[in-house]
Structure 1
């Protein structure tokens, strides 16, 4: 019965589940395709030299997939808190709510994983063609359809989705029946104790890995540095609401000074809902931190060895991390759209109080720019710490190579994606009818 209700909910609210389904589809595609590529390279002795980079790229893709899917599902359940409260108010027990959340996640996971496995094969073929075209491998990487990568992708898709749903279900169960009547947007508690402890442990693990980067062998320095970036991203995401409340106040103050009306509204929203803001800032942070660490680690190693890449070989590193970065950029758009869609009633209320559509557009833009700036600063700090450790391992000095155009382009793509998602999600609320459909 619960599974049938979950299936009907997913069918009836396809747009609400669209972002979560897209996240799982792309996650399974990335993991499955990367697994096929690694399996194909492992079957050819002449490709042993490229195996390390392919495995590193696959690990980065897997981490990004887990991070984005968990964040997206948690945000989806948070958006539905009043729905869970309404179900509680009509007699549904906490256990039934938990089972319903899990069943909905199972439906999403099964459907999305099936589509992702189908797309994994053309994705692996495209990546193999790029590897050969850039000269990263001396021979073509064969793409053979074997069960191992598909099983791994299915396990990742199902396990991560269900685990994230179970954790999010605890929030849904904790919503009281009277929550449906509460209109306050302010959050009474930023962090739960488990989340705070998890964040501190992740940060500590990242700091330990940073310390180990100059100590390990040269071949293990880049994987260790990338692991430090991942651990620090997880810790920053867990503890982010506390940090973002302060950053939102400081960055929002500049917006309020430049545009007193719209900027003040944007700052107030960030301060009142730091968890929602951190949900939108997390994919920006992950994009900047992961891409900068991967790209500039290669540039630092080349600079230390006196190597200059030209032609197709210059695109090898961007190609290996490009699919994971594209996934995080899509998640920036999806997450911003989801967080802004939650504010449609608030925007309509502001219109009834006299706010003009043009003012509300500026408010959405200021809020998106502030969140993007906060995510960029966090990601830049994490990447700089990892790259400094990698530079010390390569040259003995706390130094690293970087490309300002690549960094600026990355930030620009995240900013444009966030603005597009935010403005598209709030367009009807800003310019349409005052009463909801």
Structure 2
């Protein structure tokens, strides 16, 4: 039967091309997502400044966090701040056999005018010439200054003057080593050590220290690269899983339509004695031939598309540019396996109906399709509807805040599968309901379109399903994102109790904070320091792998948290305020142990229990305590509340005058809101890109399916024209069918998206309808209508170009 399958494909080029396109595009997308996942797993970041060092010694940027209180299982958790090492560790490294050179490295931000730079100590520069003196600096040629000139450089929130000692071809600035040690904000500490050794394996430096070689060395230079990998893995996994699900939909609908169009041929084979098993083998053989050819063609394009996606992520700021894209042979194997599995399952489903009927019923079944609701369809539909309903209940009863969106993706697919299982019935029912309006506006051609749809509901459902899927996925994912963004912006605005923000690119110094505090019209001042922390003892059942956001404050009046017990006035020294959702069996006056962002463990006394917005719980710590455990060491923003009766303009003028001469800027509360919105926009842009990719694939399948379905009706169109229909009437009938298919798909897709959107919106905003412009939905609807009409009318126009007698004679 496999050889027969090869021969039949030669005479079924339309169905072959349609199935090939569906499988090919599915394999390309899955291959690209698998390549992104491999890139995230590897997190390869080739070194730049440390290319000369065979090994790099750095602080361990992750730790093991307990997963539950009853079992000793742990999970690896990334630390958000740079883990620094004591400079004295250099002596231990030098004592290791085979080590010839050890260079400590520090990095910190500075600004030359409005140009931000990264500064280092001279020892790590490895440039010719004498080292700069204490009052000197080496600047890049792009800075536009000359040797011997004096420049003002902003560093650690203050302006300082330095003489330009040299001009280098490097993009960074360099200070004397002892000066850099002080300016870094962490005296006596280094970011990492570059080590020249002929035996990196001999470096055994104890716990908390990592020895990096190869492309891993870049992780010390660019610690954000490891976090990028952590973001890329789940993103590519979700996108890949959704792509596979959509591919199964698309390929199955294409193959089932192709098999349905060959019903007469397959019925004749059954009537002359072909067994059901042989028929299934033939259909499966044809599908596997298509799948093999499609995956072979996708092997070349998959990595190219994956690299393009990766470049979009890096240019959009979602992934660090230091991460290197890597796609080996494993992603292609995954893509081939997933595509062939999707093709195989689709072929088995498509051939099941043909193989099940008796030979005496085969020809009748081919001419007049009978029942479509098999027990398997009914069971799958009920299971999917039950699963979608269950996820909605879980969202409403358990989820809080943005995490509620985590159930939306699976819910969309469950509702989509459920509707697809009963789509012939939905198609027929909708056609019955629309027959009145269709006859009213379209006359006889509309009546004929309704009749065709009712009598060939199974065939039409094959075209409805991709439209339903495209509308459902696009509507759900876009409005989930717009609602999430709007809810985040609203919550941020409600939590922010400040009238002005003072910000500095290199930090806001204690001198600046003191000036701000004594400025006219100021009622409260608090540095704004954001990080993350983990409660390590006692065990917190509510803590996730990401820990808690940690916020550093000096004045609780700038935060919207409601004190349940204790007092935020006592938030000084080694203290902490816990959210009331933390399950640590501790109260005010008792202690908890936190692991802060740089890996340091601190035992802190609880001074308050606070109630915060659901889904946005955070730990409140003294600003000076938290600042010392962040990468920068200083607050980048300071929140200011105005005294009663002081308006925004007056406050801004007062703060500008108070901070004159300092490298800071004064803005209103919208400054922080804009920064928060920018972070949300980055994540939203990535989601839109991936959703667009998947919806684009689905849209292509819509056109693919409709073109195939319409072009095979040449004989039917010829008979209609011989019966008295004009060519224009046939085309209008095809347009009416296309519009009807679009309407059914839009209604079904809207229902599918509502199954995910409504529970999420009730949790996130308390409303049924999502946030976001209605124009988005109108564009989705318009696109579906245009695609359906175009894909229905153009093939019909081509099919009716021949004479009716010729069309009847050459049609199936």
TM range (shorter): over 0.9
- 1:370 pairs with one of 718, 721, 740: 740
Give the stretch that moved more between structures: 216-225 or 79-88: 216-225
- 1:171 pairs with one of 353, 357, 364: 353
Show CA shifts across 1:33-77 (max 9, x none). Answer: 111112212333130245443333222222211211122112211
Show CA shifts across 1:160-214 (max 9, x none). Answer: 1112212222222235556675498653313112111211111111111111123
TM-score normalised by structure 1 residue count: 0.93
Task: Give secondary structure in 1 for the equivalent of 2:422.
Answer: helix
- Cross-structure match for 1:209: 391
Task: Give secondary structure in 1 for the equivalent of 2:800.
Answer: helix
Task: Give secondary structure in 2 for the equivalent of 1:216.
Answer: coil
Say whether 1:404 aligns with 2:774: yes
**CA distance change for structure 1 residues 269 and 51 in 2, over 3 Å: closer, same or farther?**
same
- 1:379 pairs with one of 728, 746, 749: 749
Q: Which has the higher contact order (CA 8 A, sep 6+)?
A: 1
Q: Which runs of 5+ in 2 are unaligned?
A: 44-225, 490-675
Give the stretch that moved more between structures: 222-231 or 334-343: 334-343
Q: Tell me the distance in 1 between the aligned counterparts of 2:293 and 2:486.
A: 46
- Cross-structure match for 1:392: 762
Task: Give secondary structure in 2 for the equivalent of 1:137.
Answer: coil
- Structure 1 residue 423, shift from structure 2 partner: 2.0
**CA distance change for structure 1 residues 165 and 350 in 2, over 3 Å: closer, same or farther?**
same
The equivalences for 1:245-260 within 5 A come to 245-260=428-443
- 1:56 pairs with one of 223, 234, 238: 238
**CA distance change for structure 1 residues 318 and 236 in 2, over 3 Å: closer, same or farther?**
same
Q: Tell me the distance in 1 between the aligned counterparts of 2:475 and 2:365.
A: 41
TM-score normalised by structure 2 residue count: 0.51
Show CA shifts across 1:322-363 (max 9, x none). Answer: 110100000110111122234322211110110001111111
- Structure 1 residue 284, shift from structure 2 partner: 0.8
- Structure 1 residue 403, shift from structure 2 partner: 2.9
**CA distance change for structure 1 residues 221 and 311 in 2, over 3 Å: closer, same or farther?**
closer
Show CA shifts across 1:269-309 (max 9, x none). Answer: 11111111211111111111111111111111110110645
Q: Are 1:28 and 1:157, in contact at CA under 8 Å, matched by a contact in 2?
A: yes
Give the stretch that moved more between structures: 178-187 or 197-206: 178-187
- Cross-structure match for 1:240: 423
**CA distance change for structure 1 residues 311 and 301 in 2, over 3 Å: closer, same or farther?**
closer
Q: Which has the higher strand share?
A: 2
- Structure 1 residue 395, shift from structure 2 partner: 3.0
**CA distance change for structure 1 residues 141 and 394 in 2, over 3 Å: closer, same or farther?**
farther
- Structure 1 residue 131, shift from structure 2 partner: 1.2
- Cross-structure match for 2:532: none
- Cross-structure match for 2:631: none
**CA distance change for structure 1 residues 275 and 150 in 2, over 3 Å: closer, same or farther?**
same
- Cross-structure match for 1:417: 787
Give the stretch that moved more between structures: 412-421 or 181-190: 181-190
Say whether 1:73 aligns with 2:255: yes
- Cross-structure match for 1:34: 33
- Structure 1 residue 119, shift from structure 2 partner: 1.5
- Cross-structure match for 2:282: 100
**CA distance change for structure 1 residues 135 and 406 in 2, over 3 Å: closer, same or farther?**
farther
- Cross-structure match for 1:121: 303
Q: Tell me the distance in 1 between the aligned counterparts of 2:322 and 2:274.
A: 57
The equivalences for 1:9-408 within 5 A come to 9-44=8-43, 45-47=226-228, 48-139=230-321, 142-175=324-357, 177=359, 182=364, 186-214=368-396, 215-216=398-399, 218=401, 220-306=403-489, 308=677, 313=682, 315-408=685-778
Show CA shifts across 1:57-108 (max 9, x none). Answer: 2222222112111221122111111111122334433332222111111111
Show CA shifts across 1:222-272 (max 9, x none). Answer: 231110110000000101211221111222321211121110000111111
Q: How many residues align?
A: 436
Q: Tell me the distance in 2 between the aligned counterparts of 1:213 and 1:139.
A: 36
Give the stretch that moved more between structures: 334-343 or 272-281: 334-343
Give the stretch that moved more between structures: 182-191 or 292-301: 182-191
- Structure 1 residue 148, shift from structure 2 partner: 2.8
Q: Tell me the distance in 1 between the aligned counterparts of 2:322 and 2:362.
A: 58
Give the stretch that moved more between structures: 255-264 or 379-388: 379-388
**CA distance change for structure 1 residues 52 and 183 in 2, over 3 Å: closer, same or farther?**
closer
**CA distance change for structure 1 residues 273 and 141 in 2, over 3 Å: closer, same or farther?**
farther
Task: Give secondary structure in 2 for the equivalent of 1:402.
Answer: coil
Q: Tell me the distance in 1 between the aligned counterparts of 2:408 and 2:785.
A: 26
Q: Which has the higher helix share?
A: 1
Q: Tell me the distance in 2 between the aligned counterparts of 1:312 and 1:217.
A: 21
